[in-house]
Structure 1
Amino acid sequence: MEFKRGRYSWILRPILIVYDIFVLNFFAYTLLNFNDENLYFFSLKFFNNKNLLFLIYSIIFWLVSTYFIKFYKVYRYTSLLDILSLIVKQFFTFGIITFAFEGAFRSINISVFETLRYLLYAFTAISLIKLFSYYILKSVRIYLKGNLRNIVVIGSGESVKQLKRIFSDKRELGYKIVGVFNNDIKNNDGNIKDSFKFIENNQSIDEIYCAIDELSERQINEYVRHANLNHCNIKFIPNTNKLFTKRLKIDFYNYVPVLSIQEVALNKEFNKFIKRSFDIVFSLLIIIFVLSWLSVILFILIKLESKGPLLYQHKRTGINYKVFYCYKFRSLTITKEIKGTYVKKNDKRVTKIGKFLRKTSLDEIPQFINVLKGDMSVVGPRPHMLSYTEDYSKKINKYNFIFRHNVKPGITGLAQIKGYRGEIKFDKDIINRIKYDIFYIENWSLLLDFKIIGQTIINFFIGDDKAY
């Protein structure tokens, strides 16, 4: 997710949208409506049937077309050529939309020449303001020192040096480097360890640029966690001799690639609302109609067999590497979490009632409390122990591992129903688990969630060989 904080330039986008829609309808009225053949329809007053219809039509299809073309996705590092390309694409797209409107309403008898004249006039007005605002912002950054972004750069590779040169030479981009941290002994700002304290004490930082190949997984986790908590953006600088994954968004600052976490469909506001609404309703149903009476029975059975609490809580890695306590019915004779102690087949620590709970996955029912709290979702990648997050990251492509932690973890998931759950015996087990997690994130739909839940219920009755 990209955060916008402490600036006013974001207001420019809605202003431009309103202006563009006004221009489209103003020229439609003045150029297309006032001719002899259409005088009957348009000369009485502006809001007659055809004008009102085109107003609604143009607003809807302008917003839809600009959304897909990303007409308003212009950033400080966007080149002039890219902006001109967006204008040309939108011109032809809206041209087709306009001709489609005229074709649908035969009573509007307007020549092709008049329509093209309308499009040229309207897009000239739109383009001039779009380019004017683009250059005005550049001038504000250069001469007035406004609209700046405070950034911290982590690393010392060639790509980092190139990016620093661009930020220094191209003042119109508006990037102000407030700190550079690496393990070079000649660096005045400090080493990577010093950067964490610096970032924590400077709440005005807008963006963090990390040379991803120079950092450990734990360091990346810490930067991602800080960026999420403080609503600043984190971006990754790859080695230029490596291929880039499509799972991260790639922007080019001149010729230097910079990666940022891609906003997946699962994290778009409407989809988040749908999925969260489903999570709340589903978890409430389970808590009220299952967990309420099941907890009483299991409390008696678990207490009769071994000492200890009913629920076992353990730290897990959630969305954006946020740490949370995950709840389970206690199935072991111990309650302390020890690194490297995945439950194995015929594990002596598992109680008799615990074997049944783990075989049927009933031990995970309390995690619906986590869902209700917002730490987890019903369906998603399974959360790992903190120690395993660090260990697995060494075996998995860093870009894929970061991408996996861009969504909430789930009680069940695609990897689980495909058999990749529980103990990790071989590297292929965790690699395949991540592979299915990535597939789920990239192809999410509510229908896919229902399918995974359905298969999970089936596995509850037939059992799972890896559930022990």
Structure 2
Amino acid sequence: METSSFDVSGKLPGTSSLFRAADAALVAIAGMAAIEWQAARTGVEVSPIHGLLVYFCGLATLVVFPAFQLYGSWRGRPIHELAIRSIAAWTVVFAMGLLVGFLTHQIAYVSRLWAALWFVTGAAGLTGLRLGVYTALRKARDRGLNHKRVLLIGFGTLGHDMWARVAATRTAGYEVMGIYCEGKEQLPPGVRRLDDLRAISAFVRQHEIREVWLALPMEAGQAVREVMYFLRHDLIDIRWIPDVLSVRLLGHRVEEFLGVPAIELNSLPAAGIRGVSKAVFDRVFSALVLLGLSPVMLVIAAWIKLDSRGPVFFTQPRLGVDGQVFRVYKFRSMTVHEEKNGVVTQATRDDRRVTRIGAFLRRTSLDELPQFINVLRGEMSVVGPRPHALEHNEQYKDLVARYMMRHRVKPGITGWAQINGLRGQTETVHKMRDRVEFDLYYIQNWSFLMDLRIIARTAISGWTGKNVY
């Protein structure tokens, strides 16, 4: 049975076809309205190619949109992903229309203003329809309508968490009717207990269960097979929610690998298109900073040369993304000296190695400005975990859990830890552990908006710190 992308009703046939027709109609209506507007604006009849593109794109939506999974259930999933998929699908269809105009040698007759208006109104209509229905259904589910009944298998830590999520997210429209657990755990009020897997099929049919959720540990393969066997005659959705939350890694998602589904336990939020956008932003932003602050950097360079003997820049090997070693650039803030092999001494209060201008540069973090060169070279990012000396990596990787996970992404000039006060000397394991936890939080919750917030807070108040010497 095929259901709509909004799961209007699990038992109403043809709902998907209705929404497909609505999508095609919206595309056509937006295009024809733009044609009428163009004709009224210019007072001249538009070229027939405009109508041809409208009809072609209207039909193309029937083929392209299903490929973007716009007609599967969206219950319990984030609304912004639905909007992004809708706009992406419409962009592909629109590009196909322009390609048709190009191949028929009619693209020169297509009004760019009309095309822009059609694209914007089409995107607004398609996303507006989905967001409107999505919102209406959320409100209906919040009032107890359009609910799906669920049987939960397992009531350990993950099972408790899943039940709590259902209770806290009424707008998702799920209702836990029963819970299977082997122990004597206290179940939520009103929820039926099952203690025999062989009874789950009868329970599913008696209570019209629509979904079964397996909140079981990853090693519970035998229990999963038993559930699948007992429910082999029941046409319902079965979701296995393995307890990857207890595995403290960076992220997890299911991808197809060599033709089979694979759970990626170390997946990164800033990957794919999002990763490309971050890389492009880094390069453009760094180029603008280096260009805009070049007079300041020249003054600092001259001041360093006048203040003490030695080079302007200090370079040191650091660990980059996935363990690649690079040399980080800084303005030299100390007198030239040699460290013992395998030892890197962090700067401390009243450190005699720090020069007069060096103290000022370190307090204000102006010594970090040359690292925008590293960003421009692709070795660093504007925002990310701060790179530590190689010796510190060796020191802390066995003392701080998941320490090396921070090197799955490019190191940054500033980061989530730094704007939250974790800057400067880390003379204790506890301080380093706190910094690493903030770094991993950033990696797991990365978004472009989060980067902009960190940059803004760094620009306003993040350049100094009481622990920076």
Give the TM-score, by structure 1 length: 0.48
Greater RCO (Cα-Cα under 8 Å, separation 6 or more)? 1
Give the TM-score, by structure 2 length: 0.48
